[in-house]
Chains A and B, each alone.
Chain A
Amino acid sequence: MAEKELLLGDEAIALGAIHAGISGVYAYPGTPSTEITEFIQNNPLAKERKLHSTWCTNEKTAMEAALGMSYAGKRALVCMKHVGMNVAADAFVNSAITGVNGGLVVLAADDPSMHSSQNEQDSRFYGKFAMIPILEPSSQQEAYDMMGYAYSLSEDLKLPILMRVVTRLAHSRAAVEVAVIHEENQLNPDNERTHWVLLPGNARKQYLELVRKQKEMEESSSKSPYNCLENLNSEHDYEFGVIACGIGYNYIKEADRDDSHIPVLKVSQYPLPENEVRTMAANCKYILVVEDGQPFVEGMVKAFLSKDYEVKGRLTGTLPRTGELTPDNVSEALGREVKCSFGKSQVVMPRPPALCQGCGHRDVYDALNKVVTEYPNARIFGDIGCYTLGALPPFRAIDSCVDMGASITMAKGASDAGVFPAIAVIGDSTFTHSGMTGLLDAVNDHANITVVISDNLTTAMTGGQDSAGTNKFEAICLGLGIEPEHVRVVVPLPKNMEEITRIIREEIEYKGVSVIIPRRECIQTLNRKLRQKRADKS
């Protein structure tokens, strides 16, 4: 019997990539993608092969480093959460123009329902935008199997492949049967220069080449082992058929346990297999599109079928316009009744997440809240991380949270407009991810802002991964041109409250860019280390 392992979707992807012979994974932590890289960091075969797996500063540096590895002839994996695609987009879209040498897979983990995110953008649009194949597994087993397939496809087409998963697959466990283990590619840097140098003259040729490859991509989708038309006999007519994308397929199969044999086109590889869609349309009165995320396929199908052919999905309200698919909303879309024996209980209250007891961010917000009572016009621009929870009671301390690094640049813009004091609160990892460039803008423009880099020595929200700037923050700030006397380091503890509030006041009053660095280790990583120490002793 083949070996079976109980794996998260993320872990299945990671193991699939190792077995496909990758030489490195490049990533910045982000829920729900983090566990892919963590699995590779701890996997014995990956360690033995010395695969690259240290964290990158952001998704763009990750994407570029992976492209470099591909250029050198080896297979590389890039992982990120969906909003990371926005950061990596420049490198990502242009990697489709250069093409690849060693296989390159870009893994985007989407978060419909925004379990841990600020939006529910659908990464499939990025794949279509870059004009490359997209894979979307329906199960953990498929996620594992697809990695080998993706690297072959990437090297056949000489294009990067986008693999898109959603939270429910990334963070769900199932048994996975393990297949063949491939060796890594040999070092083989590309000797062809022109397609890597995207001067307009070269880029135009490369773009035509990408357009030419679209037909091969469509053929590959049409005969893909991951796309199939089920329960459809072309001699029969049906009331409706379903196009089920990714894990949407599971909810249909679950509903089909009563053997109603719903005609289904399972889609796990794009471009959308149009011929199969046309076959379904010819035999079914209408098509229901079941896809997690945004109405990507629904819009495409509507566009290429005849105008009066009925297509149902999220755009028609048959499925909810927002939020993830569930067995319940898919059942309802199929016209089935969802029966609850018990209603919602009135005694249940919401229990939102909160900053941990003993967390240094708490002391930072306590201090800021104390000081800003003296400045009624103060605005505090927040950023992405645990400290975003400072927006909730009891702190209610921040006025914005938009994207990685936006605290500093928004504070600068607001200050340019006349807001005083304009204060930014940003975490250590978010600062190196996307805050440094904004701080340089502020310095060059002599902006009047106060930046608080709340340094807990880790990337905490995603579970305590290494933070790229640890031990380098003072040097970075000085290097960017902050005056040495306005780079202030404090230890965020209640006993230091007087000192911290005094320093915040002084730096608000300083007319220029100042940086305050409250530094104390994350209580979670500290406790983990202490537990480990105790375990090692006993």
Chain B
Amino acid sequence: MAHLTLSQVGISFTRGGKTSEVLRAVDLSIAKGEFVSIIGHSGCGKSTVLNIVAGLLKASTGGVLLGGKEVNAPGPDRAVVFQNHSLLPWLTVRENVALAVDKVFRGKKTRPERTEWIEHNLALVNMMHAADKRPAEISGGMKQRVGIARALAMEPKVLLMDEPFGALDALTRAHLQDSIMEIQMRLKNTVIMITHDVDEAVLLSDRIVMMTNGPSATIGEILTVPLKRPRRRLDLVEDATYVHARAAVLEFLYARHAQPAVLAA
């Protein structure tokens, strides 16, 4: 049985008496330990899919099953790495992770165990050196590392990442992608990542879910990326499988499902 199942998920928003359907009939099954990317043009509702899985939005139709149980409220079993890191600026790096760890593992781990677990997760993303700094004192890439550490520290059944590297420069982004791959190799997390970067999707994913344009967006196609791990970005540049997968995603996004504005231009 699939670890995470979305069946016939749809959502409509009503504003000023007008109802608009954003998502329609999204069906997706994700196996344990799988890394799945969702890619699509901006405004197609890919973040909406993630927010429904996270429980931050309620689906109008259909439902989400995680480990055989329906989910309809947010919880630490579906930890989210937010696009803009969402660290609390008045807490230090360590306290930000501690807020989550102390809440999620209260009663399950003793205080020294929790302290050790916080440091373990900060070390995982190489952020121990800045543990006592506040978010305003560290760079954007570091903030996102802390966001990832906070999410990983909740030991989620599925890790949700909402354009985690969208606000970062290209070099920092590549660095973090490598970190994510390495951590993924070690922990075997189930991951859903929203992205609009084709290279990022191909490099990181086992499968790429391509969304059609809204309104009433849905899954257009799912591409399996049969690249062996560990993947090294330099080796992949001329790898036939990589090039082919990349071309397939580009073709979907820019030829068959180009944005109207792009088509006109």
**Real binding pair:** no
